[in-house]
Amino acid sequence: MTNKLSYDIIGLALFAAVILFGVPAFFGYDGFELNTFSRYLSLAIVSMALALSWGTAGLLNLGQAATFGMGSYAMAMHLKLKASGEGLPDFMGWNNVETLPALWVPFHSLTFTLLAGLLIPAAVGGLIAIFMFRARIAGVFVAVITLAFLVAFQLLVIEQQGFTGGQNGLTGLAQLELFGWTVDIYATSFYYLVGICLMVALTVGLYLTHSKFGLILRAIREDADRTRYFGYNVANYQTVIFCISAGLAGWAGMLYALVLEFASPTYMSVSFSLAIVIWCAVGGRESVLAAAAGAILVNLAENRLSDVFVEGWHMMLGVLFLLVVMFMPRGIYGVIVDAGRALRRKGGGDAEEPAYDASLKSKQEG
């Protein structure tokens, strides 16, 4: 366990070095290149958030994009209000909304927005979690309920045009002013902001997985009933991790809306939500670091491949994903861990430490 922790800390340090020093140096501190990269970093946050609930606690949340979207809309609402000055946001005029809806009023305040982007998704995630886990819903049914919620939520956002801008989403946003600092998304400082957010999220994630809380979550993943017999309140643990995961996803959504300068209902589509699952699975769902790296790698590959193969990259993504699911069920992380274990066995003949995360594939609740 301590051994494992030191590996993860080394991994985090390496990751931080690459993201905060390596990448900016590689792109020659060019703001435009770094802007695409900060998009990947914000997606890495939502991917690692999924790793917390899926990899650690075994709760496959197909509705991760819904909480991500809530965060992005919170940020976009604040910036839209700022762009509209004293008047109403333009799309409300087109939809015959006369006064600013009560839902929008508090988003004039930056503090409220930042808190809302984190806490509203967390609260929604928590409510869904309480609703599901009190009834001991598990396995596939968690996936189905969250998927149904996602579809319903996206439809609602598109339907309520006067409040949300409907299919077009929220465009024409102002620049964010953070405590007197105007955020220019094409500046290197913005890249560092997103990078530091990712590092904080990863640190939180690593802390959680290595705490006793994380240990109990893994116990629940392996056998919920047995954990219950030991006297742990399984539903509460599941609810808390669902909340945290949803909150982090909302946070990622806020950054994503900043990077792309708009919020759109496509952030809440089923295919986007499953894309998050793909990144997480490719990297390795058991480790938050691996999940974050998976998001960055897949998006990087997608960006490069779609330049070369305009039509074919989607196909390649599908094939890659299929291969990962079939042959690398634990993702890149699993391959690295297995390789490391094989090397150690060959070299020293140490006593084989029982791998706390080895039996993911042995039992999944159906």
Partner 1 sequence: MDVVFNQVFAGLSFASILLIIALGLAIIYGTMGVINLAHGEFVMLGAYATWALQSFAGIGVVTALPLVFVAVAAVGWIIEKGIVQWLYHRPLDTILATWGIGIILQQAIRMGVGAESKFVRGPDWLSGNIEIGTLVMSNYRIFVIVFSVAVLTGTWLLMTRTEFGMKLRAVIQNRGISECYGIEAKRVYSVTFAYGAGLAGIAGALITPLFSTIPTMGTGLVVDAFLVVIAGGLGSLVGTAAAAMLIGEVTALFSIVINDTLGRIAVLAGIILLIRFRPRGLFPADTRR
Nearer to partner 1, 114 or 143 (CB): 143
Interface map 13-42 toward partner 1 (x if CB under 8 A): ------------------------------
For residue 178, give the H/E element and its range. Answer: strand 177-178
Nearer to partner 1, 249 or 276 (CB): 276
How far, CA to CA in Å, does 252 sit from each of 1, 111, 179, 181, 187? 30, 17, 20, 20, 19
Q: How far is the CB of 116 from partner 1 (least distance, A)?
A: 23
**In which residue are the tokens 């919920």 written?**
224
Which SS3 state, helix, strand or coil, does residue 57 take?
Answer: coil
Choices 29-37, 221-229, 334-342, 358-366 (CB under 8 A): range interacting with partner 1 = 358-366
Nearer to partner 1, 68 or 321 (CB): 321
Nearer to partner 1, 134 or 345 (CB): 134
Q: How far is the CB of 110 from partner 1 (least distance, A)?
A: 32
Alpha carbon distance 304, 317 (integer Å): 12
Q: Which amino acid is at 247?
A: G
Interface map 114-153 toward partner 1 (x if CB under 8 A): -----------------xx--x-x-xxx-xxx-xxx-xx-
**In which residue are the tokens 């989607």 written?**
314
- Other residues' Cβ atoms within 10 Å of the Cβ of residue 151: 16
Nearer to partner 1, 136 or 344 (CB): 136
Q: How far is the CB of 328 from partner 1 (least distance, A)?
A: 11
Position 358 contacts partner 1 (CB under 8 A): no
* Paired tokens of 146: 């969250």
Q: How far is the CB of 134 from partner 1 (least distance, A)?
A: 9
Q: How far is the CB of 278 from partner 1 (least distance, A)?
A: 8
* Paired tokens of 223: 């056998």
Position 60 contacts partner 1 (CB under 8 A): yes
Q: How far is the CB of 60 from partner 1 (least distance, A)?
A: 6
Position 235 contacts partner 1 (CB under 8 A): no
Q: How far is the CB of 317 from partner 1 (least distance, A)?
A: 7
Per-residue b/e over 167-184, b at no fewer than 16 CB within 10 Å? eebbbebeebeeeeeeee
**Near partner 1 by CB under 8 A: residue from 9, 13, 103, 155:** 155
Which residues within the stretch 277-336 sit at the binding site for partner 1 (CB under 8 A)? 277-278, 281, 311-312, 314-315, 317-319, 321-322, 325-326, 329
Which SS3 state, helix, strand or coil, does residue 182 take?
Answer: strand
Q: How far is the CB of 356 from partner 1 (least distance, A)?
A: 20
- Other residues' Cβ atoms within 10 Å of the Cβ of residue 343: 10
Choices 86-94, 276-284, 334-342, 346-354 (CB under 8 A): range interacting with partner 1 = 276-284
Which SS3 state, helix, strand or coil, does residue 170 take?
Answer: strand
* Paired tokens of 243: 């909340």
Position 364 contacts partner 1 (CB under 8 A): yes
Nearer to partner 1, 102 or 326 (CB): 326
**In which residue are the tokens 């999220």 written?**
201
Nearer to partner 1, 159 or 177 (CB): 159
* Paired tokens of 278: 């793909």
Alpha carbon distance 358, 317 (integer Å): 27
Angle at 151 between CA 148 and CA 154, to 5 degrees: 145
Alpha carbon distance 48, 215 (integer Å): 17
Q: Helix 234-260 vs helix 110-133: angle between axes, to the nearest 10 degrees?
A: 140
Nearer to partner 1, 55 or 247 (CB): 55
Nearer to partner 1, 90 or 159 (CB): 159
Alpha carbon distance 199, 204 (integer Å): 9
* Paired tokens of 79: 């910036």
Q: Which residues bind partner 1 (CB under 8 A)?
A: 60, 131-132, 135, 137, 139-141, 143-145, 147-149, 151-152, 155-156, 158-159, 270-271, 274, 277-278, 281, 311-312, 314-315, 317-319, 321-322, 325-326, 329, 361, 364, 366
